[in-house]
Amino acid sequence: MSTQGRLPLSIRETLAGKHILLTGASGFVGKVWLAMVLHHIPQVGRIYILLRGKGRGVKERFEKIVNESPVFKPLHDAHEGRMSEFLSQRVEVVAGDVSQPNMGIEPDTLARLLADVDLVLNCAGLVDFNPDVREALSSNVQGAINVGDFIEASHHAALLHVSTCYVAGHRDGFVPETIVTDRTPNGTSISAEDEYRKLHEIIADVEAENDDPATEATLREDVVRRLAERGHEGDYKRVTDMVTRLKRKRLREMMAKAGTDRAKALGWPNTYTYTKALAEQLLAARADRLRFASFRPAIVESSIDFPFAGWNEGFNTSGPLVYLAGTWFRHVPAAAGNALDVIPVDSVCRMLSIVACALIRGENSQVYQCGSSDRNFLPVDRLTELSALGHRKYLREHGNGALERLILSRWDATAADPEHVLNVTNIRKLMGQVTRYLKHGMPEKIPSELREWADDVSKSTDNGVRKLRQIEEVLELFMPFTYEHFCVFECRAVDRHPVVEPEFRFAPETIEWRSYWLDIHMPGLRRWCFPEYEDKAKETYAPKTPFRLLDAALEPARPSAPVPAREEAG
């Protein structure tokens, strides 16, 4: 897309003195963007942080985030003992909840924000793929509606709404940077308003079915029977408590299934992508009344250099695929040649800043996709090879015992059909059979030493089955993207905005995938993500001087010390 005739966009000058309302600041992207802007642009006016909670509780929650997340290390290092003063002059924490009317903000504070805020960056959302559909509707859809209401009431603020590339759903080929408002990925005609009402009807129907007296009677009979089989007296209170718990569990499961079924019926792989797409369509229907841009990241991964090389958190996105390539189960379910569109989190946050400034200047497009497949294609089979190579190198130096150092370190990984005989499901089932035999099939009259050995092994295999089930569930969720469909996401709208500051330029085409994957991403996963999956202690962070949110004047002061343009990797 041509940039001829456009004035270069200065992120620093555009955001200087601007007031921004940030939702989802506790999430992966939200934290990195907040730290990046505060680090590179101390001239920013005020960033309002919307957090769930009340009173002092939200301030303490924000303090905990800043003091415990490594994301804020560059800020702590730059300001040392003056971090509390620096941050308090630029940040105000606001109690609220995007899923509530007026975002749950107190009336006096709401009136002040409506008059003061230049931009809302909506990073809030439920990222679970197939949650209780009520929760997805509340966070992903109702939250977007409520933020849109705020923008309309403000009359001057703009909205930068974070969505996902995967609103494209089940489709193949080149995915343009547009919002499709009249049909679903499988071609079904749709009205966003009608679908919003339909979703409420689905929820009401599920609730009514679960509350049906016949349902409760069936559950009660089942509880009484099971208690009788165990030789327990089924007193009324005990039976009623168990039935209540079963109804709650049953309702959550039915709500999760209802959301997944509706999503798949319309051409989306899961509730997450379905509700994010519905939110986009509802916002687009109000485009004549509010100024907004939909920002669609692909698979957000470890940072290249901010806050430092390799920062990541949680066991998600490509983590299970990478982890699987380091075990004995090396057949990763994927189709050779399909793209796995990954993008480092700091690249995402740089592009977020560019789009935020374009909105403030009134120069924005409606949709910005943020990925690498259009500019620096990475096939999933190449990713699998690199993951195996990284594991082999690590195991040769750090493997536990000769078996890992000599054999597993030479074990290769490959993209394979999901039905391969050595897939995760088959291995999990085999381990489950071993566990059941060790627990229940061993002869009663065996030496105590052998019994203790069997008990220890059964505990280990039981834990292995649980871990494999977690990997299996995540792999199933990613199957539409790694195996079933070939998608390339257009990522060109951002090129309309040439950026002055090098530290904010978006250039995924400069990423050398081998170096990024082996030297940055995999060490980052091993440091920050794998311990969570392996039930190991996570690395903690604590600044020398803890941050405390002070009662500061509304107008921020200039920092007393120069702020470095870029933090070194660490």
Q: What local confidence, expressed as pLDDT, does residue 394 receive?
A: 82
Q: What local confidence, expressed as pLDDT, does residue 421 receive?
A: 40
Q: What local confidence, expressed as pLDDT, does residue 405 receive?
A: 54
Q: What local confidence, expressed as pLDDT, does residue 452 receive?
A: 53
**Rounded distance between C-alpha atoms, residue 312 and residue 479, angstroms:** 22
- CATH topology assigned to domain 11-188+267-533: Rossmann fold (3.40.50)
**Rounded distance between C-alpha atoms, residue 460 and residue 463, angstroms:** 5
Assess whether the previous peptide bond of 502 is cis (omega < 30° from 0): no
Determine which helix (DSSP H) or strand (DSSP E) holds 333, and give its type and residue range: strand 331-333
pTM of the predicted structure, to 2 decimals? 0.86
Start and end residues for every CATH 3.40.50.720 domain found in the chain: 11-188+267-533
**Rounded distance between C-alpha atoms, residue 222 and residue 224, angstroms:** 6
Per-residue pLDDT tens listing for the chain (570 residues): 444 446 799 999 999 999 999 999 999 999 999 999 999 999 999 999 999 988 789 999 999 999 999 999 999 999 988 999 999 999 999 999 999 999 999 999 999 999 999 999 999 999 888 899 999 999 999 999 999 999 999 989 999 999 999 999 999 999 999 999 999 999 999 999 999 999 999 999 999 999 999 999 999 999 888 888 777 766 778 888 999 999 999 999 999 999 999 999 999 999 999 999 999 999 999 999 999 999 999 999 999 999 999 999 976 677 877 877 776 665 677 788 888 899 999 999 999 999 999 999 999 999 999 999 999 999 988 888 898 888 888 877 776 665 555 545 555 656 665 555 445 555 555 555 545 544 555 455 555 554 554 455 445 545 555 565 666 666 666 677 777 889 999 999 999 999 999 999 999 999 999 999 999 999 999 999 988 877 788 899 999 999 999 985 444 444 433 333 333 333
Q: What local confidence, expressed as pLDDT, does residue 561 receive?
A: 38
Instruction: Write out the two tokens for 162.
Output: 């974070």
Instruction: Write out the two tokens for 276.
Output: 């994010």
C-alpha dihedral over 496, 502, 503, 509, to 10 degrees? 60
**Rounded distance between C-alpha atoms, residue 193 and residue 26, angstroms:** 30
